[in-house]
Chain A
Amino acid sequence: QSALTQPPSASGSPGQSVTISCTGTSSDVGGYNYVSWYQQHPGKAPRLMIYDVTQRPSGVPDRFSGSKSGNTASLTVSGLQAEDEADYYCSSYAGSNNLVFGGGTKVTVL
């Protein structure tokens, strides 16, 4: 149950796009289409932004999109806004009813 690998930080100017990667193995990210992404503002509980690699829950802006290629999943935030500045975490099903999270990426809006 090793954590998924995310870059510690990412940044972009308002209106630009930023993409965060989440690298695992064939036993987790590469083996299942059950990758989720969470946004967390300081002092708040995480919020589900993407599930099942590409699906958005109701209420999540379509500026947020997810994808996957091989053992790496990605979250893209288009048209960056000030309120998108937060920590982002990926998670993946890892088989046998186990789940693994990434280490988190701090997104800064310049």
Chain B
Amino acid sequence: EVQLLESGGGLVQPGGSLRLSCAGSEFPFNTYALSWVRQAPGKGLEWVSVISPGGGTTSYADSVKGRFTISRDNSKSTLYLQMTSLRAEDTAVYYCVRPLAPRWPLRGDFNYWGQGNLVTVSP
């Protein structure tokens, strides 16, 4: 069964940094584009970023561009999200997501979701 296991969330002060990780298993990790999607408490879903299967192409939502960096290590089947200059409005549950099929560019058909990792930005 496909699994996406996230780690690295927690409490951080405004202006601080945090790195999220997502370990994938039971699927050919290096053939799928992967994304991060977040959900602020009581709010809707927001797409954050995507990375191509080989890692050479990335894209970001305007709200995080220049502050967040997505990367992947296919040898470790792990996806990362480096978050810097964090703001209160970045407080959310962050999900690592995989599409239904290994298509590129992304289409938004996220069939597999990690368990979610809460990031809280507060003094």
Q: Which residues of A contact B (CB under 8 A)?
A: 1, 3, 34-36, 38, 40, 45-46, 48, 51-52, 57, 89, 91-93, 96-104
**B window 65-110: CB within 8 A of A:** 95, 100, 105-110
> Which A-chain residue is minimally distant from B107 (CB atoms)?
A34
Given A1-B61, A45-B95, A46-B45: A99 touches B35 (CB 8 Å cut-off): yes
Closest 10 CB pairs of A and B: A51-B109, A97-B59, A45-B113, A99-B47, A104-B44, A91-B108, A34-B107, A101-B45, A36-B108, A48-B111
Number of interface residues of B (CB under 8 A): 25
Chain B interface mostly = loop
Q: Which of B61, B110, B115, B116 contacts A48 (CB 8 A)?
A: B110
B108 adjacent to A99 (CB under 8 Å):
yes
Number of A-B contacts (CB under 8 A): 72
A34 to chain B: which residues have CB within 8 Å? Answer: 107-109
Q: Which residue of A lies closest to B48 (CB)?
A: A99
Known pairs A48-B100, A99-B35 / 10 extra A-B pairs, C-beta < 8 Å:
A1-B61, A3-B44, A38-B110, A45-B95, A45-B115, A51-B108, A89-B44, A89-B45, A97-B57, A99-B47
List 16 interface pairs A-B (beta carbons < 8 Å), by A numbering: A1-B61, A34-B108, A34-B109, A36-B109, A45-B113, A45-B116, A46-B95, A48-B100, A52-B107, A57-B111, A91-B108, A97-B57, A99-B35, A99-B47, A99-B106, A104-B44
Question: How many angstroms between the C-alpha atoms of A51 and B107 in the bound complex?
Answer: 8
A45 to B116, CA, bound (A): 7
Give the complex CA separation of A93 and B107 in angstroms.
Answer: 6
Whole-angstrom CA separation of A97 from B116 in the bound complex? 23
B20-50 interface code vs A (CB 8 A; 1 in, 0 out): 0000000000000001010000001111001
Residues in B with CB closer than 8 Å to A93 are 105-108
